[in-house]
Chains A and B, each alone.
Chain A
Amino acid sequence: MRSRGTILRALVVVTTITIMLLTARAWAVDPTELPDPRLQARYLALTHELRCMQCQNETLADSPVDLAADLRREVRDLLLQGKSDDQVRAWMVARYGDFILFRPRFSPRTAWLWLAPGVALLLGAGVCWRIVRGRSALVDADSEPVDG
Chain B
Amino acid sequence: MNRFAVPMAVFAALVVVLAIGIRHSPQKGIIISPLIGKPAPLFSLPSLNDPAHAVASGDLKGRWYLLNVWGTWCVGCRAEHQMLLEARDAHALPLIGLDWKDDDARARQWLAQFGNPYEAIALDHSGRTAVDFGVYGAPETFLINAQGIVVYKYVGPLTRDVWTQEILPRLPGHAGGSS
Interface of A toward B, CB cutoff 8 Å: 53-54, 56, 66-67, 70-71, 74, 93-97, 99, 127
Assess whether A67 is in contact with B134, with CB atoms less than 8 Å apart.
no
The smallest C-beta distance from B45 to any residue of chain A, in angstroms, reads 15
Residue of B nearest to A67 (CB): B136
A56 partner residues in chain B, CB cutoff 8 A: 29
The smallest C-beta distance from A117 to any residue of chain B, in angstroms, reads 13
> Which label, helix, strand, loop or mixed, suits the secondary structure of the B interface?
loop
Assess whether B137 is in contact with A70, with CB atoms less than 8 Å apart.
no
Which of A54, A95, A97, A99 neighbours the largest number of chain B CB atoms within 10 Å of its CB? A95
Bound-state Cα–Cα, A94 to B137, Å: 17
A95 partner residues in chain B, CB cutoff 8 A: 34-35, 131-134
* Residues of chain B from 24 to 53 with CB closer than 8 A to chain A in the complex: 29, 31-35
Assess whether B32 is in contact with A97, with CB atoms less than 8 Å apart.
yes
B-side interface residues, number (CB < 8 Å): 18
Interface of B toward A, CB cutoff 8 Å: 6, 29, 31-35, 101, 126-128, 130-134, 136-137
Assess whether A53 is in contact with B128, with CB atoms less than 8 Å apart.
no
Can you show 10 pairs from A to B with CB atoms below 8 A apart?
A54-B136, A66-B101, A66-B127, A67-B127, A67-B136, A93-B34, A94-B34, A95-B131, A95-B134, A97-B134
Bound-state Cα–Cα, A93 to B134, Å: 9
Bound-state Cα–Cα, A74 to B134, Å: 13
The smallest C-beta distance from A17 to any residue of chain B, in angstroms, reads 34
Q: CB within 8 A of A97: which of B34, B130, B133?
A: B34
The smallest C-beta distance from A43 to any residue of chain B, in angstroms, reads 17
Assess whether A96 is in contact with B127, with CB atoms less than 8 Å apart.
no
Bound-state Cα–Cα, A95 to B29, Å: 17
Extra 11 A-B pairs, beta carbons < 8 Å, given A70-B130, A96-B31, A97-B32: A53-B137, A54-B136, A66-B101, A67-B131, A71-B131, A95-B34, A95-B133, A96-B134, A97-B31, A97-B134, A127-B6
Bound-state Cα–Cα, A99 to B136, Å: 12
The smallest C-beta distance from B2 to any residue of chain A, in angstroms, reads 12
Q: CB within 8 A of A96: which of B6, B29, B128, B136?
A: B136
B133 partner residues in chain A, CB cutoff 8 A: 95
Bound-state Cα–Cα, A54 to B127, Å: 14
B101 partner residues in chain A, CB cutoff 8 A: 66
